[in-house]
Amino acid sequence: MADGILNILSTLTYIFIFTLGLGLAGVIILFFVDITQKQDAVRRNYPVIGRFRHLFSSLGEFFRQYFFAMDREEMPFNRAEREWVLRAAKGKGNTIAFGSTKNLDPAGTPIFVNCPFPTLERDAAETATCVIGPNCEKPYEAHSLFNVSAMSFGALSVPAVRALSHGAKTAGCWMNTGEGGLSPYHLEGGCDIVFQIGTAKYGVRNEDGSLNDDKLKEIADHEQVRMFEIKLSQGAKPGKGGILPGEKVTDTISKVRGIPAGQASISPNRHPEINSVEDMLDFINHVRNVTGKPTGIKAVVGAYGWLEQLCQEIHRRGIESAPDFFTLDGGDGGTGAAPMPLMDNVGLQLDESLPMLSDIFHKYGLRQRIRIIAAGKRVTPIDVAWALCAGADFVNSARGFMFSLGCIQAMKCNKNTCPTGITTHDPRLQRGLDPSDKKVKVANYCKNLVHEVEVIAHSCGVDEPRQLGRKHVRIVQADGKSVPLDELYPRPEAIDPVSSST
């Protein structure tokens, strides 16, 4: 027996020495590789050890998220915001104890003005249905104030689109296709669909990229497709078209979009047909005439003189020529892959652009004609309630619904390596996203968010969320004092649009 033990120990010793020798040989090889290469100065000056810099840099995001960042510190969404969405999606209670952990002192913080006599539950009203495109052949009665924002099939995986489609149907909200065309997976759940026409006209294009009316009519023939949205720009990359890497252009996506498989899909930075507000109205009315359904635009606002020109041109042509809705995106990024300068510093944030847009439409008597849909970093009830106060009729969210699908903010959306299966076309990674489970969480998130917006509205003394106005929220200023939003952005007086355009 003793001999057997000695033999085992001897064998283990040989294995250890052999492994150690291989390790030392590997270190020596890496040493000479690093000291002779000329591409990386750190590895050249600190061979082998310098390799850990890249490892630690790549893991830094992970360690910050899980170990070092406080609940309210992360960007673009902090842990407290993500946890709220996760609890709402799971249908769990969203109450907290022992006081707020949110710092309420920074300038720009919204403080809702509670009423001494809040609305009783027995007096509360259902969130009102809002009609979009009343002059259209087929107007749209929209029931939910909170909806799924534009995320393209291609950018999203098949399981993600399926879960969103079924979840949106259960919640009674609409789902925007994004610019990637209409797939069977969008229609599968039976939800209302907003079809987005991007600058490349995916799904409704000729080979030269121009609009194909026959394909457009074919899309409109789907009863589920309720509206058409012409995308001028988006928050992730104002002034630049969509970017879909070649590895994401599968055969299925190629068929839906009408583009070659395996090749990167780069959209033009604007619609070639639209070079003025006159061209824009012509294009809107063409789509509306072909489809018979409400048609609007999506844009990030930077320069805003064109909005006044648009209103003047609408009055010159007649109010029926106006877009049926305006989806206003914020300039502070989004789900799309984009160059960092555009993501960071191009386009106005909703805090400034939403009151401005609403006021311009009000000034020209178009506020009730053109419905405003606010999009861009709206994931919690506070975000949505503020947008309603500032002038929105509806709120769209993309990243909020991604969190409800299980997004962990890994920041890999553009790399086809999403660990949760949401933005990847790798079958192994997609396997982790079960649509039958996630569709329930999508619906729960939407319903619970709307419910808590209603709670805020009742606290402010109104019967339902769309009765919220600028007087119901105050904004903290740099000196620490808060100012009512209606003082920061007082409604302009209406003008005579005919005389203003002459």
Q: How far is CA 122 from CA 118, 463, 465, in A?
A: 11, 10, 16
Burial 220-230 (b: 16+ CB within 10 A, else e): beeebbbbbbb
End-to-end CA distance of the chain: 108
Rounded Cα–Cα distance for residues 61 and 489 (Å): 39
**Run of H or E residues at 428:** helix 427-430
Fold adopted by 121-500:
TIM Barrel (3.20.20)
Tell me, what's the pLDDT at 199?
92
Q: Tell me: the pLDDT tens digits for 206-257?
A: 988 899 999 999 999 999 999 999 999 887 667 677 777 777 788 888 888 8
Rounded Cα–Cα distance for residues 442 and 172 (Å): 11
- If one counts every other C-beta atom within 10 angstroms of the C-beta of residue 319, the result is 14
Q: What is the CA radius of gyration of the chain?
A: 27
Q: Tell me: the pLDDT tens digits for 389-409?
A: 999 999 999 999 999 998 888
| DSSP codes joined into one string, 100-115 | --S---STT-EEE---
Contact, 47 vs 30, CB < 8 A? yes
Q: Tell me: the pLDDT tens digits for 327-381?
A: 999 877 676 666 767 666 778 899 999 999 999 999 999 999 999 999 988 999 9
Given a cut of 70, is residue 6 above it in pLDDT? no
Tell me, what's the pLDDT at 502?
47
Q: Tell me: the pLDDT tens digits for 38-88?
A: 777 777 787 888 777 776 666 555 555 555 555 555 667 777 788 888 888
- What's the 3-state SS for 461-490? CCCCHHHCCHHHEEEECCCCCEEEHHHHCC
The residues pairing with 374 across neighbouring beta strands, listed in sequence order, are: 328, 395
Tell me, what's the pLDDT at 27?
82
Tell me, what's the pLDDT at 245?
75
Rounded Cα–Cα distance for residues 406 and 419 (Å): 10
Rounded Cα–Cα distance for residues 485 and 467 (Å): 15
Angle at 276 (CA atoms; ends 272, 282), nearest 5 degrees:
80
The residues pairing with 112 across neighbouring beta strands, listed in sequence order, are: 473
- Whole-number average pLDDT of the chain: 87
Q: What is the pTM of this model?
A: 0.86
Q: Tell me: the pLDDT tens digits for 83-103?
A: 888 888 888 877 777 777 787
The residues pairing with 196 across neighbouring beta strands, listed in sequence order, are: 229
The size of the chain, in residues, is 502
Query: Mean pLDDT over residues 127-147, rounded?
Result: 94
Q: Tell me: the pLDDT tens digits for 138-192?
A: 999 999 999 999 998 888 899 999 999 999 999 999 999 999 899 999 999 999 9
Q: Where are the beta strands (DSSP E) in 184-322?
A: 192-197, 225-231, 243-244, 265-266, 295-300
Tell me, what's the pLDDT at 2?
67
- If one counts every other C-beta atom within 10 angstroms of the C-beta of residue 91, the result is 14
Which one, of 206, 398, 170, 165, lies nearest residue 298 by Cα?
398
Question: In the structure, what pLDDT confidence band is assigned to residue 469 with cuts at 50, 70 and 90?
Answer: very high
Given a cut of 70, is residue 124 above it in pLDDT? yes
Q: Where are the beta strands (DSSP E) in 225-333?
A: 225-231, 243-244, 265-266, 295-300, 325-329
* Tokens encoding 127: 């969130």
Percentage, residues of the chain above pLDDT 70: 89
Q: Where are the beta strands (DSSP E) in 330-431?
A: 371-375, 394-397
* Tokens encoding 467: 């009765």
Which one, of 153, 247, 271, 258, lies nearest residue 204 by Cα?
258
**What DSSP designation does 136 have?**
S
Rounded Cα–Cα distance for residues 299 and 268 (Å): 15
Query: Mean pLDDT over residues 114-121, rounded?
Result: 86
Query: Mean pLDDT over residues 120-131, rounded?
Result: 82
Rounded Cα–Cα distance for residues 450 and 394 (Å): 11
Query: Mean pLDDT over residues 14-40, rounded?
Result: 82
